[in-house]
């Protein structure tokens, strides 16, 4: 059964006259009559009563009128939704957040995307960089916010959208609390509260090299996240290096923050994604991220 014949049928049912229906459709009356006859043969049912000057629906025609109206409405909706997804204006986008960036560029980009494309559903998953990169490669994420550099990342696009200063977290009684700023050299002999290398391998080695050189830090304790790191610092188990913004949401007594002396060591936040077939809305998200990246460069 062709959708075209259903449309012809509905117009004829509405007009009640072959001539008017043909003019409304822009086809010859004979062509309309032929198509209705084909439809009746396909359904093995007489759809119209042709005994008078006007044509009326038979009981079978009334059934088809209700069904055809629903069918064509569903087809039209499906076409509109398909076009919207293909244009990146609908569908679903799966995005990974990084735990070390609860605010700032990442939620800002997502919020801007939602404002511009309210019909695109976004599934957010929060994880560390290592997990987000693995999920990107596995195809369970379309894009993810990560902490570069990313080792062996030739298969990934990585766009820096934010740059954050690293800060020193000290026990409140530590001697370095007397300083307004801290030099990297002053940390060489300190016991360090660290986080698992697997969380963000590239950033882990970048910070180690930047602050401690080839020897690396003396990691006394390894904690799973920033809150546990700060609690360990407050207990006097060592010092930690963190992103300041993440610490704003941690309310733990017994620690003090001190900035580095210039040049201040920085860490990046980036949006990562893979080329190739994927969510149609992904280029829209990347476009917004490029604007944030441009502001950063400016």
* All structural domains of the chain with their residue ranges: 3-86, 91-161+268-297, 165-266
pLDDT of residue 84: 60
What pLDDT is attached to residue 135?
Answer: 94
Q: Please tell me the distance from the alpha carbon of residue 118 to that of residue 122, in angstroms, as a whole number.
A: 10
pLDDT of residue 73: 85
Among candidate residues 45, 11, 42, 41, the one with its CA nearest the CA of residue 29: 11
- 77 has pLDDT over 80: no
Do domains 91-161+268-297 and 165-266 share one topology? The answer is: yes
Take residue 263 and report the two structure tokens written for it.
């040049």
Whether residue 237 has pLDDT greater than 70: yes
pLDDT digits (tens, 9 = 90+) for 200-215: 999 988 888 888 887 7
- Hey, is 21 helix, strand or coil? helix
Task: Tell me what pLDDT residue 269 has.
Answer: 95
CB burial string 60-80: b at 16+ within 10 A, e below: ebeebbeebeeeeeeeeeeee
The predicted structure's pLDDT at residue 50: 87
Structure confidence at residue 95 as a pLDDT band (50, 70, 90): very high
Closest CA to 110 of 119, 91, 97: 97
Question: On the CB side of 141, how many CA atoms lie within 13 Å of its CA?
Answer: 26
Residue 82 predicted with pLDDT over 80:
no
Q: Which pLDDT belongs to residue 85?
A: 63
User: What are the tens digits of pLDDT across the range 151-200?
Assistant: 888 899 999 999 999 999 999 999 999 999 999 999 988 999 998 889 99
pLDDT higher than threshold 80 for residue 78: no
CATH no. for 3-86: 1.10.10.10
- Homologous superfamily of domain range 165-266: Periplasmic binding protein-like II (3.40.190.10)
Fold of 91-161+268-297: D-Maltodextrin-Binding Protein; domain 2 (3.40.190)
Q: What is the pLDDT of residues 26-61, one digit of tens each?
A: 999 999 999 999 999 999 999 998 887 788 899 999
The pLDDT tens digits for 125-156 are: 999 999 999 999 999 999 999 999 998 888 99
How many C-alpha atoms does 172 have within 13 Å on its Cβ side? 7
β partners of residue 218: 191
For residue 13, what is the DSSP state?
H
What was the pLDDT predicted at 293? Answer: 95
Instruction: Reduce the secondary structure of 122-160 to three states and give it as a string.
Output: EEEEEECHHHHHHHHHHCCCCEEEECCCCCCCCCCEEEE
- What pLDDT sits at residue 188? 86
Identify any residues that bridge with 268 across adjacent strands, giving them in sequence order.
163
Name residue, tokens 């280029």.
283
**pLDDT exceeds 80 at position 243:** yes
User: For residues 93 and 217, which has the higher predicted lDDT (pLDDT)?
Assistant: 93
pTM of the model: 0.71
Q: Look at residue 86 and tell me whether its pLDDT is greater than 70.
A: no
pLDDT at 279 over 60: yes
């Amino acid at each position: 059964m062709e959708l075209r014949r259903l449309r012809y049928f509905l117009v004829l049912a509405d007009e009640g006259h072959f001539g008017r229906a043909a003019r409304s459709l822009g086809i010859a009356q004979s062509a309309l009559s032929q198509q209705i006859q084909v439809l009746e043969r396909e359904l093995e049912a007489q759809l119209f009563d042709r005994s008078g000057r006007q044509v009326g629906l038979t009981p079978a025609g009334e059934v088809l009128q209700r069904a055809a109206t629903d069918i064509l409405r569903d087809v039209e909706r499906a076409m509109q939704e398909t076009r919207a997804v293909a244009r990146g204006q609908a569908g679903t986008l799966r995005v990974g957040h990084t735990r070390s960036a609860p605010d700032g560029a990442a939620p800002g980009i997502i919020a801007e995307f939602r404002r511009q494309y309210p019909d695109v559903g976004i599934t957010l998953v929060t994880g560390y960089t290592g997990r987000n990169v693995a999920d990107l490669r596995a195809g369970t994420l379309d894009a993810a916010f990560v902490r570069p550099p990313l080792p062996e990342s030739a298969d990934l696009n990585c766009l820096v959208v934010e740059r954050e200063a690293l800060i020193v977290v000290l026990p409140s009684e530590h001697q370095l609390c007397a300083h307004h700023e801290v030099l990297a050299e002053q940390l060489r002999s300190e016991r360090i509260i660290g986080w698992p290398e697997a969380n963000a391998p590239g950033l882990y080695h970048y910070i180690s090299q930047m602050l401690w050189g080839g020897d690396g830090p003396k990691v006394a304790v390894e904690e799973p996240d920033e809150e546990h790191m700060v609690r360990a610092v407050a207990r006097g188990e060592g010092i930690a290096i963190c992103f300041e913004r993440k610490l704003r949401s941690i309310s733990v007594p017994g620690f003090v923050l001190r900035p580095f002396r210039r040049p201040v060591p920085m860490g990046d936040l980036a949006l990562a994604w893979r080329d190739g077939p994927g969510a149609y809305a992904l280029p829209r998200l990347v476009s917004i991220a490029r604007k944030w990246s441009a502001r950063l460069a400016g």
